[in-house]
Structure 1
Amino acid sequence: MTKPTIAIIVAVSRNGVIGRDGDMPWKLSTDLKRFKALTSGKPVIVGRKTFDSFGGKPLPGRPHVVVTRNADWQQEGVEVAASLDEALKVGERLAAEAGVDTIYVLGGGQIYVDAIKIADLLQVTHVEADIPDGDTYFPAIDPQVFEQVEEEVVPQGEKDTYATRFATYRRRKA
């Protein structure tokens, strides 16, 4: 089997904010539906703090790999890895077992910084707002490295705090 695609999925404000106080600083029902559709059935890699923001249990229908430096940390229904590299190896095994071709990286901040160096694909929800007092940021997307291949403008829905743009970026061939 070929190596699975490593995809980052993220919602990010115009000023780069992805989080505040251990949560997302917006409510985007439209985006959550897209997130669920893209990630369902696929392995997800997530940092421990981000995992905790889910309420401390795995999102349904996706095998989870939680990255933590705490060797004693464990949680029912998830696999644990000490590094992103280790998590990707576990993710590859889980993808093969599930017969899927993509592993999603769900954050948080430091995981994204490390993963963007190796990701094949970025699934980005651009939140059309500047968010004050964010405490977690997404790294800048370098147009020399990633080419935007798709975009969909999404007006603010009834249950959305802001309008968004869904964009897909593919790593350029070296």
Structure 2
Amino acid sequence: MIDKNIEIKTERLILRELKEKDITEKYINALNDEEVIRFIEARYKKWDFESIKKYVMKSITDEYSILVGIFFQNNHIGNIHLINFNAIHKRCDLGIIIFDKNFWKKGIAYEALSSITNHYIESNILHKICADYNELNVNSEKLFAKCGYKKEGKFVEHILFEGKFVDSIRVSKIKE
């Protein structure tokens, strides 16, 4: 079971569990913006308040995941979703999105990902955090490398992307 009562403060951000009250029109619009969701599974669905509420509530009630909102000056600008939390093996998977384009290329994803990774690994809650990304997503490749994630391998032709099968890259960060 993952502790959901977290609030991580960084130089510019607050990271905390996402709640229903955090669902805004901006968030809904972002999840329907093709540029924002190009590389994530959200692209296969039309999002509205009810579908996002269901997604958020599922995470709140799921003892093996936590949906962490990324907030800049109390504005919700992105998420980190930790899933498949395994207390025995001390590992989980995660995904990250900065959906507010005003914060792209400003180090926000690095600040958020490095902070959440350090929180869970340095506090000895997790030994290993894993992630997968589309091989064409160069920004994810750079982000995970900058945060100290190492490539473990790839799933060949694992993702149908824009009409072609592409590889999924598997990375992880392990407690040193």
Q: TM-score, normalised by structure 1?
A: 0.39
With CA pairs under 8 Å and 6+ residues apart, which has the higher RCO, 1 or 2?
1
Higher helix fraction: Structure 1 or Structure 2? 2
Higher strand fraction: Structure 1 or Structure 2? 2
Q: TM-score, normalised by structure 2?
A: 0.39
